[in-house]
Amino acid sequence: MRRFENILRGGLYRSRNGIILGVCRGMAEHFDFSVFWMRAIVVILLFVTGFWPIVALYFIAALLMKPEPVIPIQTEEEQEFYDSYLHSQKGASDRLKRRYDNLERRIQRMEDHVTTREFDWENRLNT
63 and 26 assigned to the same domain:
yes
Inside any domain, residue 81: no
- Asked if 119 and 111 touch (Cβ cutoff 8 Å), the reply is no
pTM over 0.75: no
Q: Does residue 78 lie in a domain region? A: no
Range of the domain at 96: 88-127
> Would residue 35 count as lying in a domain?
yes
Q: Are residues 13 and 63 in the same domain?
A: yes
Q: How confident is the model at residue 3 (pLDDT cuts 50, 70, 90)?
A: very low
CA 88 to chain centre: 12
Is residue 80 situated within a structural domain? Answer: no
Same domain, 68 and 112: no
**Residue 1: predicted pLDDT:** 44
Number of structural domains, the chain?
2
Asked if 8 and 50 sit in the same domain, the reply is yes
